């Protein structure tokens, strides 16, 4: 499919008192138009940093050290704050893990929805009608009455539904969701994921879905990018990557048993060993210290993304056609 967003060789550093952390290194991926891309990996792998860089919300101490994020002729990685004010919340919207990140506790739901900046001029009464329509879209019971309530009067699941309605109000081209169901129990999580899938199909927007939960990614996403230590180590169609993972990290996550993914625990499986120090990323493969398949080349030679199947790539020497491994 045609990409909506192309991330091209993106690198992001964080300046900290203990040194520069190379949090994203040479990230390349595409968010396809009208599809859902899942982003998975352990905490600290850089998936949230990548998500935040696509909506211009990187922390103060972050610096784009290289690359670009292309969308509609613009480079989001180097956009001025003024340009972000026109894009954020209109063409690109975000839902967060904690709904209260985007809700104002002292303002009614209705006022917050009516105050949203639209791409086109629209009257107050139209805004009100649209707010009700979108609260119905996210299946909030008694939608019109919800305009008068404050966030604390709603349950966690309902608050997240309100956030989804608010994010979609302006019909964004890209919706970014950073672990939006992590704070919910399993039943609510399934409801929200089903809702997101339905809304994505209704509105035809692209979604970047950041998640720890492989079962959710299998349910919701068309494509997936697996991150490890600030790099993309594997990407491709969900079906292919989940059934035939080609990077030892992805294989370890799935425990080589695709049948178990749907009922997988809500946390990623723990793989023994520790992440490399991202102040000094290792010269060879970043996964080497934890890889049961490491061999000679892995210590010195940094693996590129090798073609690993139709539309699938993996950053591992074992996928190098020159490597004669059975
Ligand atoms: Fe393991 Fe080597 Fe492949 Fe890295 S390149 S994942 S260390 S086999
Ligand atoms: Mg995160």
Q: Residue 266 has what pLDDT? A: 59
Q: Is 46 in the pocket of ligand 1 (CB under 6 A)?
A: no
Tens digits of residue pLDDT in 213-225:
888 899 999 999 9
pLDDT in tens, 177-201: 999 988 888 889 989 999 999 999 9
Task: Look at the domain 3-91+213-319 and name its fold.
Answer: Rossmann fold (3.40.50)
β-sheet bridge partners, residue 16: 19
> Which of the ligands is closest to the CA of residue 318?
1
Give the position, in ligand 1's atom list, of the atom nearest the Cα of 233. Answer: 6
Phi-psi category of 132—alpha, beta or left, where left has phi over 0 and alpha has psi -120 to 50?
A: alpha
Residues 6 or more apart whose CB falls under 8 angstroms from that of 307 comprise: 313, 319
Nearest CA to ligand 1 atom 3: 316
Residue with CA closest to ligand 1 atom 5: 316
Which residues, other chains included, contact 214 with Cβ-Cβ below 8 Å and sequence gap of 6+?
40, 242, 253, 254, 261, 264, 268
Q: Which residues are CB-neighbours of 251 under 8 A, at least 6 positions away?
A: 245
Distance in Å, CA 321 to ligand 1 centroid: 14
| R_g over Cα of the chain | 20
Q: Which residues contact 2 (CB under 8 A, 6 or more apart)?
A: 32, 33
Q: What is the DSSP string of 186-244?
A: HHHHHHHHHHHHHHHHHH--EEEEEES-HHHHHHH-SEEEEEETTEEEEEEEHHHHHHS
Q: What residue segments make up the domains of the chain, in order of their start?
A: 3-91+213-319
Question: Among 72, 5, 12, 23, which residue's Cα sits nearest to residue 277?
Answer: 23
Residue 288 Cβ contacting ligand 1 at under 6 Å = yes
Residue ranges with strand state E in 82-158: 92-95
Question: What pLDDT shows up at residue 174?
Answer: 98
Q: Please state the rounded mean pLDDT for residues 299-308.
A: 96
Contact between 226 and 253 (Cβ < 8 Å): yes
Half-sphere exposure of 280 (CA within 13 A, CB side): 1
Mean pLDDT, to the nearest integer, of 135-152? 96
- Between the CA of 33 and the centroid of ligand 2 the distance, in Å, is 24
Cβ atoms 110, 147 nearer than 8 A: yes
Question: Does the pLDDT value for residue 257 go beyond 60?
Answer: no
Residue 293 Cβ contacting ligand 1 at under 6 Å? yes
Distance of alpha carbon 249 from alpha carbon 287, whole angstroms: 7
Q: What pLDDT score was predicted for residue 326?
A: 47
pLDDT digits (tens, 9 = 90+) for 42-90: 889 999 999 999 999 999 999 999 999 999 999 999 999 999 998 999 9
Q: CB of 308 closer than 6 A to ligand 1?
A: no
Residue that the structure tokens 């919207």 belong to = 93
For residue 282, the CA-to-ligand 2 centroid distance in Å is 23
Collapsing DSSP to helix, strand or coil, 283 comes out as coil
Q: Which atom of ligand 1 is nearest to the CA of 292?
A: 1
pLDDT 10s digits, 155-177: 999 999 999 999 999 999 999 99
Mean pLDDT along residues 229-240: 97
Q: Is the C-beta atom of 245 inside 6 A of ligand 1?
A: no
Do 220 and 213 touch, CB atoms closer than 8 A?
A: no
Distance of CA 113 to the CA centre of its chain: 24
- Is residue 305 in contact with ligand 1, taking CB distance under 6 Å? no
For a mutational test of ligand 1's pocket, the pick from 250, 301, 317, 325, i.e. the residue with the most ligand atoms closer than 8 A to its C-beta, is 317
């Amino acid at each position: 499919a045609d990409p909506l967003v192309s991330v091209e060789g993106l690198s992001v550093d964080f300046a900290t008192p203990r040194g520069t952390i190379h949090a994203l290194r040479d990230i390349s991926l595409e968010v396809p138009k009208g599809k859902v891309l899942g982003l998975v990996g352990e905490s600290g792998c850089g998936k949230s940093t990548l998500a935040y860089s696509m909506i211009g919300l990187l922390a103060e101490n972050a610096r784009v050290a290289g690359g670009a994020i292309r969308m509609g002729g613009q480079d989001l990685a180097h956009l001025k704050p003024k340009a972000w004010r026109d894009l954020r919340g209109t063409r690109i919207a975000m839902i967060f893990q904690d709904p209260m990140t985007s809700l104002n506790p002292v303002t009614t739901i209705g006022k917050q929805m009516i105050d949203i900046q639209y791409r086109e001029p629209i009257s107050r009464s139209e805004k009100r009608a649209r707010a009700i329509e979108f609260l119905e879209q996210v299946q909030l019971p008694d939608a019109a009455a919800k305009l008068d309530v404050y966030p604390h009067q709603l349950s966690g699941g309902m608050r997240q539904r309100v956030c989804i309605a608010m994010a979609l109000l302006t019909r964004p081209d890209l919706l970014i969701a950073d672990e939006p169901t992590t704070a919910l129990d399993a039943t609510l999580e399934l409801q929200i994921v089903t809702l997101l899938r339905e809304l994505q199909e209704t509105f035809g927007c692209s979604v970047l879905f950041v998640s720890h939960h492989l079962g959710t990614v299998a349910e919701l996403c068309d494509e997936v990018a697996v991150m490890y230590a600030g790099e993309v180590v594997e990407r491709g169609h969900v079906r292919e990557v989940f059934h035939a993972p080609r990077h030892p990290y992805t294989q370890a996550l799935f425990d080589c048993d695709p049948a178990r993914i749907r009922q997988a625990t809500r946390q990623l499986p723990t793989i023994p060993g520790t992440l490399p120090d991202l102040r000094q990323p290792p010269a060879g493969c970043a996964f080497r210290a934890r890889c049961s398949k490491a061999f000679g080349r892995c210590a010195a030679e940094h693996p590129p993304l090798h073609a690993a199947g139709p539309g699938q790539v993996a950053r591992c020497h074992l996928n190098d056609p020159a490597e004669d491994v059975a």
